[in-house]
Amino acid sequence: MDGVEQEGGDSNISVGRWEEILQEIKTYNEENKKNKNIRAVPESLIDEIKLQHVYPRLDENVTTHINHLLKSPFCIHPKTGKVCVPIPVGELDRFKPDNVPTIHQLLDSTADGGDQARDQLKKYTNYFETFVKRSIMLNNSGNEGGSVDDW
């Protein structure tokens, strides 16, 4: 993996490493195409590698205990009081968990009689509403090639 460029931060390193793995597999398959004693690396193995290293894993406690509801948008974390907010995939690198409002901040701003609580959650509720509308639109159009993550 000596050829991996390190410009632009860790995400470029990961992308470079993944591209090297794919290139190695392609080279291996091409070099051994005519040798019947050596099997080619199947495309399904690449998909399996993606699933093993990227797909989120949930343990039994996360899926069965009520205090592990962080899968649900706008639920409240039991220890920190932070609101679980949806964020676009493209904003993951810029997301700052410390800036997410807590239930106490929202209640305090509501008690003051202002719309500050609604304003604090506005960008998250707008994104969630857009996400749901887009999901419904994709589902109704039968667009199996599209994805809500594409936008």
pLDDT for residue 12 is more than 70: yes
Please tell me what DSSP assigns to residue 149.
Answer: G
pLDDT for residue 118 is more than 50: yes
Residue % of the chain over a pLDDT of 70: 72
Question: Tokens 């990961």 identify what position?
Answer: 14
Which amino acid is residue 95, in one-letter code? F
Return the CA Rg of the chain: 22
* pLDDT of amino acid 3: 47
Q: What are phi and psi of 35, to 5 degrees?
A: -85, 110
pLDDT in tens, 64-109: 666 665 567 888 887 888 998 998 888 888 988 888 889 888 888 7
Strand partners, 76: 83
Distance CA 150, CA 135 (A): 11
pLDDT for residue 5 is more than 80: no
* pLDDT of amino acid 59: 63
pLDDT in tens, 37-69: 888 888 888 888 887 777 666 666 666 666 665
3-state helix, strand, coil in the chain (%, to 5): 55, 5, 40
Strand partners, 102: 82
pLDDT for residue 114 is more than 90: no
The whole-chain average pLDDT of the chain stands at 78
Q: How confident is the model at residue 13 (pLDDT cuts 50, 70, 90)?
A: confident
Which amino acid is residue 15, in one-letter code? V
